[in-house]
Amino acid sequence: MATHTLTLHLSEKELTLNILCFHTAASNIPIFDDAATTLTGDNAPLNHLVMPALLAEAARSGGMTTALRRRIAQMIETLLPQFDAVLITCSTLGPVADDFSVQDRVMRTDGMLAQALQRHTGPTVALCAAESTLTATRALFCQPGSQTEVALVEGAWAAFKAGDTTEYFTLIAAAAEQAYQQGAVAVALAQSSMTPVARQFPAARRPLTGPHLALQACYDLR
């Protein structure tokens, strides 16, 4: 049976922006809550919807199908009246955000990350763990004229699915370090679940991550 989790966290302050984070992994909840706290200085309220079955379906199909994309878009349409912004945190499902106009306030976490990476001049690398997201990530990051390479971290997703986050983070950190050693001027961790790895690097060469950038874009809607 698919897992549907909707949790609402309210602070004592007046709620000024009602954001829904649309996840396919529950482990992304603390990552986005931490990012919100860092940006706002308090326990900023976020809403979290977790639907792992959608990612599993995309993985079985080798990526997101037209039918799956349509179903997700319809689901978001029904949720929009309840929220000021919907943030799709799964890079595999992220392209659904492109089916909405800016006025709809539906965003994809990796969209802001790609924009940040494109501001660098020189070779850059976007790391992925899940093979199901490669097509969507390449379409987003590898724009004409860019020097961005999208690389799959072999074995990382198997470790993540097995619950071995230590091995997951170790493989991603090693891939980021290798990218830097091979001449990348910037590295992006294209999936939100990779975010904690950035803390292992000094500030001067810390990989770019999406949650802070995406939430800041949501807060800027106010």
Task: Answer whether residue 7 shows pLDDT above 50.
Answer: no
Q: What are the φ and ψ backbone dihedral angles of 202, each rounded to 5 degrees?
A: -65, 155
- Fold equal for 5-109+211-219 and 111-209: yes
pTM for the complete prediction? 0.84
Which tokens is 141 given? 């990051």
Closest to 19 (Cα-Cα) out of 171, 39, 163: 39
Task: Answer whether residue 5 shows pLDDT above 50.
Answer: no
Closest to 34 (Cα-Cα) out of 186, 212, 220, 184: 212
The 10s digit of each residue's pLDDT in 84-103 is 999 999 999 999 999 998 67
The 10s digit of each residue's pLDDT in 70-82 is 999 999 999 999 9
The pLDDT of residue 102: 67
Cα(8)–Cα(39) distance, integer angstroms: 19
Which tokens is 93 given? 């499902």
The 10s digit of each residue's pLDDT in 191-207 is 999 999 999 999 999 99
| Stretch 169-181: mean pLDDT | 97
Domain 5-109+211-219 fold? Rossmann fold (3.40.50)
The pLDDT of residue 171: 98
Task: Answer whether residue 11 shows pLDDT above 80.
Answer: no
Query: What are the domain boundaries of the chain?
Result: 5-109+211-219, 111-209
Percent of the chain with pLDDT over 90: 73
The pLDDT of residue 2: 40
Query: Which residues, 6 or more positions from 57, have their beta carbon under 8 angstroms from its beta carbon?
Result: 68
The CATH architecture assigned to 111-209 reads 3-Layer(aba) Sandwich (3.40)
Confidence of residue 12 (pLDDT cuts 50, 70, 90): very low
The pLDDT of residue 14: 37
The pLDDT of residue 213: 92
